[in-house]
Amino acid sequence: MGTITYGFSDTPFGEIIVAATKKGVCDLRFLEYNKLETIHDLGQRWGVYTPITLDNEMAEMVASVVFGGKRRKLTVDLRSTDFQIAVWKAVRAIPFGQTATYQDMARAAGNEKAARAAATAVAQNPVSLLIPCHRVVRGDGDTGDYRWGRDLKRKLLKWEAETVAAQPKNGMATDLTQLIDIHCSNVPLVEELSQDMFKGDLDGLF
């Protein structure tokens, strides 16, 4: 049986939990309740990887990439349908400081009439921030819902917009568009966690 590693890290917007298999980050979320309940929920979702082990340094490193501008390439390890994976890849491509609509995501995934299904895929994104589902908004311009509340979604978008405005025009140190690789594992993995998940120093609802 394989292992899943998890850890906690503070961010400017609250504490997060990050979990990873050998292939990459498989879960990233803001804490919704106490840590014991969160770990229990994580274990139920990814029980195939038990036992789970603690590694806060891993979580802090991921947080430093998202919020600290550290250039390190990461891999995310996802399991889902082909359509959902296509939507998540489209979400990953939304530039830092910009937004796109659910219909945009459906179109990018190959079915422009599937906006509702795209919204479901966005809402089920298991690695928030790395796949920036907060950047997907409604077609009427409303921010739309967010798993951790509309207020947090607005704060994230405001922070990104302000960060872009404060940056020189030669590039965004915090833009993860080119730093996140997606690995699709639709079968259980049994390998132990290793540093292979980190590849060098370059690295919602209606």
Residues assigned a catalytic role: 133
CA distance 109 to 95: 17
Of 146, 156, 147, 150, whose CA–CA distance to 98 is shortest?
156
Q: What are the CA-CA distances from residue 114 to residues 7, 61, 94, 147 (Å)?
A: 35, 36, 19, 21
CA atoms of 21 and 24, how far apart (whole Å): 5
CB neighbours of 201 closer than 8 A, spacing ≥ 6?
Answer: 71, 72, 73
